[in-house]
């Protein structure tokens, strides 16, 4: 049985030559590559790139010449202008990509330079006036007791609400040093540090004190009445007094963070300490925790002391600690007022 009929064979005989002629014609009609033309196009693009002046622009106000200078084609520039003429407004840079004549590649190239003016950009209602916000004014020295809200806002230190709250707080409590400035809840530590070189504090009128304050027995309210001791310093004094076991000398106040040299001189005239009221530590029987809590006991010294105590059993005088190289003479001198040397039969009184 034949695969094709006589009629199908005649049709194939006619179709195949025609198909060959069509393929040959298409091959001959294909344009040949022109290397010189490609080079001319490349040179044109390079020259165009050399003339571009990429710089910040506002798509809401840029004219045709400015858009062409940015590298847009005439078609792209006209498309953007028509888009704008139709009532469209560019609120954010991404709106430029919505313009039908701007390709994605063109938008990506322009995006770093798009600047939307305050008149058109999304912003709080009170700022939609077209007026640029003023630059903060450089601060100069000012009195903290008389400075107004306008100045604090002008130098960029506080917002309007913060400045108003600050003035109310200052007039109620008074501010006489940096510690009291930081006590104000609207003043952060960073703002206080930035303002410190420019602040002039008023002189505090001291409250008359009938008699000097005993550092070892005064409570927080009594310490607060001392001229030069602020609220934070009161807590530091009480905490340090507890760790020490009491003050032996008023000069130990200088060891507390936050006591400035200026305040220290003021405070010394209003205080005293009774060294008979200090709490002592029995070095032969006190626990490692109790010994380590004392601010004069260095960690390395504590390790040597505990190791030697375990082997030797104890000491009778501070001089023995120096001879056995457990403490330096300076360490022993600082700690001696706080130590007792107890025996198995009971602690001795020093």
Residue spans of the domains in the chain: they are 51-123, 142-200, 213-277, 281-340
What's the pLDDT score for residue 28? 66
What's the pLDDT score for residue 200? 92
Tokens of 217: 């027995």
Q: Which of 30, 179, 49, 57 is nearest to 117 (CA)?
A: 57
Q: Which of 186, 333, 165, 130 is nearest to 248 (CA)?
A: 333
Low-confidence ranges of the chain (pLDDT < 50): 49-50, 124-133, 345-350
**pLDDT tens, position by position, 259-310:** 877 778 888 888 888 878 789 999 999 999 999 999 999 999 999 999 999 8
Contact 271/217 with Cβ under 8 angstroms?
Answer: no
What's the pLDDT score for residue 40? 64
pTM of the model: 0.45
User: In sequence order, what DSSP letters do the residues of 132-201 get, joined into one string?
Assistant: PPPPPPPP--EETTT--HHHHHHTTSS-HHHHHHHHHHHHHH---SHHHHHHSTT--HHHHHHHGGGEEP
**Cα–Cα distance measured from residue 233 to residue 165, given in angstroms and rounded to the nearest whole number:** 24
**Cα–Cα distance measured from residue 225 to residue 230, given in angstroms and rounded to the nearest whole number:** 9
What's the pLDDT score for residue 113? 87
Q: Do domains 51-123 and 213-277 have the same CATH topology?
A: yes
What's the pLDDT score for residue 282? 92
What's the pLDDT score for residue 303? 92
Contact 170/227 with Cβ under 8 angstroms?
Answer: no
Phi and psi torsions of 273, nearest 5°: -140, 140
Architecture of domain 213-277: Orthogonal Bundle (1.10)
Look at the alpha carbons of 131, 136, 137, 141 in this order and tell me if their dihedral is positive or negative.
Answer: positive
Instruction: Give the position of tokens 């393929």.
Output: 23
CATH classification of 51-123 is 3.40.50.10860, yes or no?
no
Look at the alpha carbons of 70, 75, 78, 84 in this order and tell me if their dihedral is positive or negative.
Answer: negative
What's the pLDDT score for residue 20? 75
Contact 185/169 with Cβ under 8 angstroms?
Answer: yes
Look at the alpha carbons of 47, 48, 53, 55 in this order and tell me if their dihedral is positive or negative.
Answer: negative
Segment holding 213, helix H or strand E: strand 213-214
């Amino acid at each position: 049985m034949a695969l094709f009929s006589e009629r199908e064979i005649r049709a194939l005989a006619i179709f195949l030559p025609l198909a060959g002629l069509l393929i040959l014609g298409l091959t001959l009609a294909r344009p040949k590559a022109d290397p010189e033309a490609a080079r001319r196009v490349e040179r044109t693009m390079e020259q165009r790139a050399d003339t571009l002046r990429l710089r910040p622009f506002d798509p809401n106000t840029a004219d045709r010449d400015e858009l062409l200078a940015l590298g847009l084609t005439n078609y792209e520039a006209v498309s953007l202008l028509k888009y704008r003429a139709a009532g469209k407004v560019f609120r954010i840079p991404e709106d430029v990509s919505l313009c039908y004549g701007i390709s994605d590649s063109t938008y990506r190239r322009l995006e770093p330079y798009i600047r939307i003016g305050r008149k058109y950009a999304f912003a709080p209602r009170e700022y939609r006036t077209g007026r640029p916000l003023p630059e903060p004014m450089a601060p100069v020295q000012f009195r903290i007791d008389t400075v107004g809200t306008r100045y604090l806002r002008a130098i960029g230190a506080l917002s309007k609400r913060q400045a108003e709250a600050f003035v109310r707080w200052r007039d109620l409590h008074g501010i006489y040093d940096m510690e009291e400035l930081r006590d104000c809840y609207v003043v952060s530590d960073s703002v206080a540090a930035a303002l410190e070189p420019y602040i002039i504090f008023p002189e505090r009128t001291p409250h008359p004190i009938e008699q000097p304050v005993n550092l070892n027995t005064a409570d927080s309210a009594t310490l607060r009445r001392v001229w030069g001791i602020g609220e934070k310093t009161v807590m530091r004094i009480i905490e340090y007094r507890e760790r020490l076991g009491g003050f032996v000398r008023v000069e130990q106040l200088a060891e507390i963070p936050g006591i400035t040299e200026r305040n220290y001189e003021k405070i010394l005239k209003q205080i005293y300490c009774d060294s008979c009221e200090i709490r002592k530590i029995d070095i032969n029987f006190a626990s490692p925790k109790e010994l380590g809590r004392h601010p004069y006991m260095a960690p390395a010294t504590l390790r040597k002391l505990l190791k030697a105590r375990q082997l030797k059993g104890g000491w009778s005088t501070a001089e023995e600690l120096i001879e056995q190289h457990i403490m330096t003479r300076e360490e022993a001198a600082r700690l001696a007022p706080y130590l007792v040397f107890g025996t198995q039969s009971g602690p001795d009184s020093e």
